[in-house]
Structure 1
Amino acid sequence: MTHTEYLNHLEKHLHQLPEQEKQEVLADYQEHFEMGMLEGREASEIAKDLGHPRDIAKEVYLQFRIENAETNKSITNLSQAILSTMSLGLFNLIIVLGPAIALLGIYISLWAAVFSLYVGAIGVFFVTSSSGVQLILLQLFSAMVLAGLGIMLTIGLIKLGNMLYQLFMKYVKWNVKIVKGENYV
């Protein structure tokens, strides 16, 4: 395979990347070919050493998604990083997707509990019909306690969400290192 064919195949497989990122990657691989040819190597030998363009594109796309998820924190970016990680192999489908679904389920159920505290506060204050000042004060106090718990848990869940996001990004990076066979200590 000539270096032009190789770069064309690589460009075709990099279609998911933004244009600027794609051009940087192509320039890097153009440089690999130029340096190799200056050393007297054949283009086919250089292409063989570099690996298949499809595999390179998967790794580049994965790195792009991980970096994007770290700099622009959102569930969408995290999901894209997870899906890109799973493209490395079937092993990752179980090892990465399983914990992601479990943590997401637990996190959503915690938010449901907080929501129920807010609904309970409204229900205790407005729904119960009572007579007497003591009962009204008890209702008011109960509603304030439930709302206060809801507010405290909301703050805690926001902080927990940020922490889980960071931990899961570390887990994804660690998993990528294992799959690539890098030192993961």
Structure 2
Amino acid sequence: MTRTEFISRLRQGLVGLPMSVAAEIVSDYETHFEDGVAAGRSEAEVAAALGDPARLARELRAEAGAQRWHQEKNPSAAAAAVFAVLGLGAIDILILLPILMGVIGALFGIGIAVIAVFITGGGIMVGGPFLDVPGGAGASILAGLGLMAGATSAGALLAVVTIGLVNAIVWFARLHYRLLKPALEPQANTVATGDVA
């Protein structure tokens, strides 16, 4: 594969990343080709050492998603990290996908329930004094506050569990994939030390 073909396929795989990030990645790999050719290697040898550009792009997208998650810690960054890892398309991800979707569905359901309990608590707190409830107005206000406090606590716990799940997915991806470690660098260092010796 020539340098032009490699860079073209890499660019296609990086579509969707911010343009500045994609341009920086492409520039890095252009440099790898320049260094490899300067060391006497052919473009085909450099391309073979770097690996499949489509897979490399998927790995780089996963790493970019993981970095965004570690910097921003918001739902958008979490979704980007999860989908980037799923985009790697590995067999183990496909096996874990049904389990992961079940867990995400359960977390979503619990989140909806937390919101419903909070709203119900607010309704009881506001409407209770105007209704004839056992224990009187004070009991309904306290019951409403208790429900709202419980829902808030459950929501905080749900947020911690969700952050932990996203961190676990990112950890899994980093454990199973070689990210941002081009194969050319170790060989270039070996060639350089071999020339000195």
Alpha-carbon distance in 2 for matches of 1:99, 1:174 = 15
Shift of 1:22: 0.5
Alpha-carbon distance in 2 for matches of 1:154, 1:162 = 12
Contact 2:121 2:147 in 1 (8 A): no
Work out which structure has the larger RCO, using CA pairs closer than 8 Å and 6 or more positions apart in sequence.
2
Alpha-carbon distance in 1 for matches of 2:26, 2:35 = 14
1:12 alignment counterpart: 12
2:30 alignment counterpart: 30
Cα separation, partners in 2 of 1:58 and 1:21, compared to 1, 3 Å: same
2:60 alignment counterpart: 60
- Does residue 1:145 correspond to 2:142, yes or no? yes
Alpha-carbon distance in 1 for matches of 2:107, 2:12 = 40
Q: What is the TM-score normalised by the length of structure 1?
A: 0.79
Shift of 1:69: 2.3
Paired AA for residue 109 in structure 2: I
Contact 1:120 1:146 in 2 (8 A): yes
Shift of 1:64: 1.2
SS at match of 1:119: helix
Length, aligned pairs only: 176
Consecutive unaligned residues in structure 2, runs of 5 or more: 180-197
Alpha-carbon distance in 1 for matches of 2:150, 2:10 = 49
1:177 alignment counterpart: 174
Consecutive unaligned residues in structure 1, runs of 5 or more: none
Alpha-carbon distance in 1 for matches of 2:5, 2:104 = 44
Q: What is the TM-score normalised by the length of structure 2?
A: 0.74
Quote the RMSD (CA, aligned, Å).
Answer: 2.7
SS at match of 1:41: coil
Alpha-carbon distance in 1 for matches of 2:116, 2:51 = 52
Cα separation, partners in 2 of 1:75 and 1:97, compared to 1, 3 Å: farther
